[in-house]
Amino acid sequence: MTRDRGQGSWVMITNSAFTLLEVMVAVAIMSMVLVTLLGLKNRTMQDVALAEHITTATMLAKRTMVDTLTIGTGKLQPVEEDGNFAGEENLGDYAWKRTISQIPLFSTVFITEIRIAVIWNEGTRQEMVELVDYE
């Protein structure tokens, strides 16, 4: 408190400012929030990239399955083969594997199983989408 010189009364003077401790706590909280948001953004970007790869691989697997069923209608022989999509634009990272096998149902009846797998590398691990059809 200070005394007002002209009137002889006491007047309360207050400072409405933040202390250093309050400013430091606010900056610490804001920095933690910022780091969390940046981490969330990076993880979201990784998830979007993985979703794009899965979508592309699924479409490639479906196309390969349709090609297999169209070419081999009624006479699919057991085979295991693989290849890649290197001849196509932006698909060089993807490879495919086709497995056709006969599964005995009864002693003389067989079901043809067709497996199409599309494989790509996602960072350090290998990812795969697989379609299976029975004829």
Task: Dump pLDDT digits (tens) for 56-98.
Answer: 999 999 999 998 888 866 677 888 999 988 788 888 889 999 9
Please say whether the beta carbons of 99 and 115 come within 8 A: yes
pTM, entire model: 0.70
Please say whether the beta carbons of 81 and 130 come within 8 A: no
pLDDT confidence bin for 123, thresholds 50/70/90? confident
Residue 119's φ and ψ, nearest 5 degrees, are -120, 140
Separation of alpha carbons 78 and 61, rounded Å = 19
User: What pLDDT does residue 1 have?
Assistant: 52
pLDDT confidence bin for 39, thresholds 50/70/90? very high
Residue 131, pLDDT above cutoff 80: yes
Residue 14, pLDDT above cutoff 90: no
pLDDT confidence bin for 6, thresholds 50/70/90? low
- Tell me the CB-side half-sphere exposure of residue 20, using CA atoms within 13 A: 0
In Å, what is the CA distance from 118 to each residue of 7, 47, 88? 91, 19, 15
